[in-house]
Amino acid sequence: MPLSHDESLLDACNISRRLENGPSWLLHAVSCRLWPGDRVAVTGPSGGGKTVLLRALVWLDPFNTGHLLWKGAPLLGRDTPSFRRQVIYLHQQPVLLDGTVEHNLRQPYSLQMHSDTQYDRQRTITRLEQMGRQADFLDLPTRTLSGGESQIVAVLRAVQLEPVVLLLDEPTAALDEHGTRAVEQTVLGWQAENPAQRAFVWVSHDAQQARRVAIRFWHIDQGHLKERSSEP
């Protein structure tokens, strides 16, 4: 069912987290809301909590306090498969399976949560060409890929599944300027296919990149999150 613009996608409600027996908070009373159509950039110093925030938003780590809402309803354990289908987290250093690039792109469709969809090879080739790669890129063994090429595969693997939300942890950190712009356009293109329903949160150390991809700006430091009314 389509969402109305006054219905949020994902809400973090006063979430806090610290390491077990640790004295300091990794996240401290963080509340934020992601709306349909949002393009959010997250900036902040190294160790400030950017990755911890994304892992919290995809419900990978336990909270000491607080909870998440998905489309207005509290998340329960039984919701995990459906939630993880709709909200995809991309780690800065993606994990790829042994085999070819295409094997990695096909693999998610073997999972029960994606059994009602099919791999579209031609659409994948079109996206690759838009990113400056040819169809033979699909035949490359993953063990031969550079860090940047692995990031390209991870982005392709995520957008092909047509999630509602993408959580991107520096997805272009290992890419040159050309590759960076290509990934940006791929993610923006994915969001533009259904702009009233899809959203992303993009962690970046690059203020210029944040301005290119985002319309909202969050800053996190020492586990405290603030929204900035202007660009970084």
pLDDT digits 0-9 by tens, 112-133: 989 899 999 999 999 999 999 9
Per-residue pLDDT band for 1 (boundaries 50, 70, 90) equals very low
What is the distance, to the nearest Å, from the Cα of residue 154 to the centroid of all Cα atoms in its chain?
10
Return the SS3 of 13.
strand
Residue 73 is predicted with a pLDDT of 96
Q: Is the pLDDT of residue 10 over 70?
A: yes
Q: Is the pLDDT of residue 181 over 80?
A: yes
Predicted TM-score (pTM) of the model is 0.94
Residue 21 is predicted with a pLDDT of 72
Residue 24 is predicted with a pLDDT of 83
Residue 69, strand partner residues? 11, 74
Max avg pLDDT among 75-79, 205-209, 228-232: 205-209
Return the SS3 of 27.
strand
Residue 4 is predicted with a pLDDT of 47
Instruction: For residue 89, give the nearest of 184, 175, 154, 182 by alpha carbon.
Output: 154
For residues 46-65, give the mean pLDDT: 94
For residues 21-27, give the mean pLDDT: 82
Residue 115 is predicted with a pLDDT of 87
Return the SS3 of 108.
helix
43 backbone dihedrals φ, ψ, rounded to 5°: -125, 170
CA distance 133 to 137: 6
CA distance 124 to 146: 20
Residue boundaries of the structural domains of the chain: 10-227
CA distance 169 to 11: 19
Q: Is the pLDDT of residue 2 over 50?
A: no
Contact by Cβ (8 Å): 157, 89: no
Contact by Cβ (8 Å): 119, 105: yes
Residue 89 is predicted with a pLDDT of 97
End-to-end Cα separation, the chain, in angstroms: 35
Assigned superfamily of 10-227: P-loop containing nucleotide triphosphate hydrolases (3.40.50.300)
Per-residue pLDDT band for 208 (boundaries 50, 70, 90) equals very high
For residues 134-143, give the mean pLDDT: 98
Residue 229 is predicted with a pLDDT of 77
Amino acid at 151: Q
